C-alpha cells in the first residue's frame, strides 16, 4: 500500500478511536485524559497495535497541543486577575508548594533519580489540572460557591509558579551552567514582567491586533500569533508553553471570549494528540515496576491537596463543608504534569521509568480527582449528621 495512504488510514483510525474514547469518558462523567493516555499506550512501543508512519505529524501536533492548552489557560485570566489572585493567595500558594512538591521529590530521591529527577517529579506532583478542575466545578454547578474563588486563586498561583518553573526546568534539563541558568531565569522573569505590564496597560491594543470580525481571519491571526510567540519564547530559553500562556493573558475582554470559543475545538484535537504521543513514548511494560510508587504518590498527594484547599478556605472564613469541597476540587492532576514529564523525557536527562511513573500517577489522579470532588459533599454531610460531629 502507498505510504501516504497507509499514514492517512493510521491517522484516521487514531482520531476515530480518540473520539470514541472521549465519548465514553463523557458518558461515565470523567476526564478523557486517562483514556487518551491509555490509547497512546495501546498504539505505542510494546502496545497492542504499534504505529510507525505518523510519528512526525503526531510529534508536531503534540507540540501545538501544548501551545493551545497554555494559550487558552491564559485567556481565562486577565493580568489584573492574576495580580489580585497572587496577592490574595500567596500564603496558600506557598503551603501548596511545600505540601505537594515534597512527596514527588522524596520519591524520586528514594528511587535514585538524583536532584534533576527530584526537581521534575516535584513539579509533576505539585501542579493541579486547571482543565479538569474547571470542568468538574462547572459540571457540579459550583462555580458560584463561596469556596470557588479560593480554588481559582490557588490555580492562578500555580500557573504563575509554572511560568517560572518551566524555564528553570528547561535550563536544568539542558545541563546549562549555573551562570547560564541564572541568565535564563533572569530572561524569563524579565519577559514575564514585561508581558504583565503590557497586558495591564496596553492589553486592548494586543487584542485589537489579533481581533477580526471574520472568523477565518481571526483564527489565522490568533493561531499564527500563538505559534510565533511560542517559537520566539523557546528561542529565548523561555518555555514555548509559557510564551503561549503570556500571550493569552495579554488578550482580554470580548476578544479573549471569542478566541476561547474559536480555539476550543482545535485545542481539544491537538491536546488529545499530545496525550496520545506521551502514551506512545511510554512502554506499558515499564509501568508495573513503578505502579506501587504511583499509588503511594496518588494517595499522599490527594491528602496534601485536600489539606491545602481546607487550610486556604479556612483562612477566608469558609465553613467546614466549603473547606472540604475546596480541598477535594484541587486533587486532579493532568495536562501540566504530563507536560513536565514529557519535557524531561524528551531531553533525555532523566530515567525512562519517570515517564512510566508520571503516566501511572496522572492516570490515577485524573480519575481520583473528579470522583473526590463528587463524593466529598455527601460524605461530609454524612459525617456532620453523626452525633459526634462538631457543628459546621
Question: Measured between alpha carbons, how far is 332 from 132 in angstroms, rounded to an integer?
Answer: 7
pTM to 2 decimal places: 0.73
**Within its chain, how far is the Cα of 143 from the centroid?**
20
Q: Give the mean model confidence (pLDDT) for residues 239-252.
A: 77
pLDDT higher than 60, residue 298: yes
Query: Contact at 8 Å (CB) between 31 and 366?
Result: yes
pLDDT higher than 70, residue 204: yes
The more confident residue out of 325 and 381 is 325
Q: In the numeric block, which cell numbers belong to residue 309? A: 484547599
pLDDT higher than 50, residue 392: no
210-236 per-residue burial string, b: 16 or more CB within 10 A, e: under 16: bbbeeeeebbebbbebbbebbeebbee
Q: Give the mean model confidence (pLDDT) for residues 113-130.
A: 90
Q: Specify the pLDDT at position 302.
A: 95
Q: In which band, very low, low, confident or very high, does the pLDDT at 179 lie, cut at 50, 70 and 90?
A: low
Handedness of CA 327, 333, 334, 338 (dihedral sign): positive
User: Which one, of 70, 31, 16, 39, lies nearest residue 275 by Cα?
Assistant: 39
pLDDT higher than 50, residue 390: no
Q: Specify the pLDDT at position 238.
A: 62
CA separation, residue 178 to residues 121, 123, 171, 189 (Å): 21, 20, 9, 16
Residue by residue, DSSP assigns 89-148 as: HHHHHHHHHHHHHHHHHHHHHHTT-HHHHHHHHHHHHH---HHHHHHHHHHTT-TTSTTH
The DSSP 8-state label assigned to residue 153 in this structure reads H
The more confident residue out of 154 and 8 is 154
Report the greatest alpha carbon distance in the chain.
Answer: 73
User: Which one, of 339, 351, 285, lies nearest residue 70 by Cα?
Assistant: 339
User: What digits encode the pLDDT tens for the residues 253-272?
Assistant: 788 889 888 988 888 888 78
pLDDT higher than 70, residue 109: yes
Domain locations along the chain: 10-383
Q: In the numeric block, which cell numbers belong to residue 283? A: 512502554
**Range name among 220-224, 306-310, 380-384 with the lowest pLDDT average:** 380-384
First to last CA, the chain: 68
User: What digits encode the pLDDT tens for the residues 40-90?
Assistant: 777 766 566 666 555 666 777 777 887 887 788 778 767 676 667 667 778
Residue 111 makes CB contacts below 8 A (sequence gap 6+) with: 117, 293, 353
3-state secondary structure of 386: coil
Q: Rg for the chain (alpha carbons), in Å?
A: 21
Question: Measured between alpha carbons, how far is 190 from 186 in angstroms, rounded to an integer?
Answer: 6
Q: In which band, very low, low, confident or very high, does the pLDDT at 209 lie, cut at 50, 70 and 90?
A: confident
Q: What is the CATH number of domain 10-383?
A: 1.20.1530.20
Q: Provide the H-helix boundaries in 236-290.
A: 240-250, 253-280
The more confident residue out of 267 and 292 is 292
Q: In the numeric block, which cell numbers belong to residue 362? A: 496522572
User: Which one, of 223, 310, 203, 314, lies nearest residue 264 by Cα?
Assistant: 223
Average pLDDT of the residues of the chain: 81
pLDDT higher than 70, residue 180: no
Q: Specify the pLDDT at position 384.
A: 67
Q: In which band, very low, low, confident or very high, does the pLDDT at 337 lie, cut at 50, 70 and 90?
A: confident
Q: In the numeric block, which cell numbers belong to residue 179? A: 551562570
Amino acid at each position: 500500500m502507498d505510504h501516504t495512504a497507509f499514514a492517512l488510514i493510521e491517522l484516521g483510525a487514531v482520531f476515530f478511536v480518540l473520539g470514541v474514547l472521549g465519548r465514553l469518558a463523557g458518558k461515565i462523567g470523567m476526564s478523557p485524559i486517562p483514556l487518551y493516555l491509555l490509547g497512546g499506550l495501546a498504539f505505542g512501543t510494546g502496545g497492542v497495535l504499534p504505529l510507525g508512519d505518523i510519528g512526525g505529524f503526531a510529534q508536531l501536533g503534540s507540540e501545538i497541543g501544548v501551545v493551545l492548552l497554555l494559550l487558552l489557560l491564559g485567556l481565562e485570566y486577565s493580568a489584573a486577575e492574576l495580580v489580585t489572585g497572587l496577592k490574595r493567595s500567596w500564603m496558600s500558594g506557598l503551603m501548596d508548594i511545600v505540601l505537594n512538591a515534597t512527596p514527588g521529590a522524596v520519591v524520586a530521591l528514594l528511587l535514585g533519580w538524583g536532584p534533576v529527577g527530584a526537581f521534575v517529579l516535584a513539579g509533576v506532583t505539585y501542579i493541579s489540572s486547571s482543565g479538569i478542575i474547571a470542568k468538574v466545578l462547572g459540571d457540579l454547578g459550583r462555580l458560584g460557591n463561596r469556596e470557588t474563588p479560593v480554588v481559582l486563586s490557588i490555580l492562578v498561583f500555580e500557573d504563575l509558579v509554572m511560568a517560572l518553573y518551566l524555564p528553570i526546568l528547561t535550563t536544568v534539563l539542558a545541563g546549562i551552567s549555573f551562570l547560564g541558568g541564572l541568565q535564563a531565569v533572569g530572561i524569563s522573569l524579565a519577559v514575564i514582567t514585561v508581558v504583565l505590564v503590557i497586558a495591564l496597560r496596553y492589553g486592548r491594543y494586543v487584542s485589537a491586533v489579533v481581533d477580526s470580525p471574520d472568523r477565518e481571519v481571526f483564527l489565522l491571526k490568533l493561531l499564527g500569533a500563538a505559534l510565533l510567540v511560542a517559537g520566539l519564547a523557546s528561542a529565548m530559553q523561555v518555555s514555548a508553553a509559557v510564551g503561549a500562556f503570556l500571550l493569552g493573558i495579554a488578550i482580554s475582554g470580548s476578544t479573549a471570549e471569542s478566541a476561547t470559543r474559536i480555539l476550543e475545538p482545535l485545542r481539544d484535537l491537538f491536546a488529545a494528540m499530545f496525550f496520545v504521543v506521551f502514551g506512545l513514548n511510554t512502554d506499558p511494560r515499564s509501568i508495573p515496576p513503578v505502579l506501587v510508587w504511583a499509588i503511594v504518590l496518588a494517595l499522599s498527594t490527594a491528602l496534601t491537596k485536600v489539606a491545602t484547599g481546607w487550610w486556604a478556605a479556612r483562612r477566608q472564613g469558609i465553613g467546614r463543608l466549603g473547606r472540604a469541597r475546596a480541598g477535594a476540587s484541587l486533587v486532579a492532576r493532568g495536562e501540566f504534569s504530563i507536560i513536565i514529564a514529557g519535557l524531561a523525557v524528551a531531553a533525555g536527562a532523566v530515567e525512562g521509568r519517570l515517564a512510566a511513573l508520571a503516566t501511572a500517577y496522572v492516570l490515577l489522579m485524573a480519575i481520583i480527582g473528579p470522583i473526590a470532588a463528587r463524593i466529598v459533599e455527601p460524605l461530609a454531610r454524612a459525617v456532620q449528621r453523626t452525633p459526634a460531629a462538631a457543628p459546621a
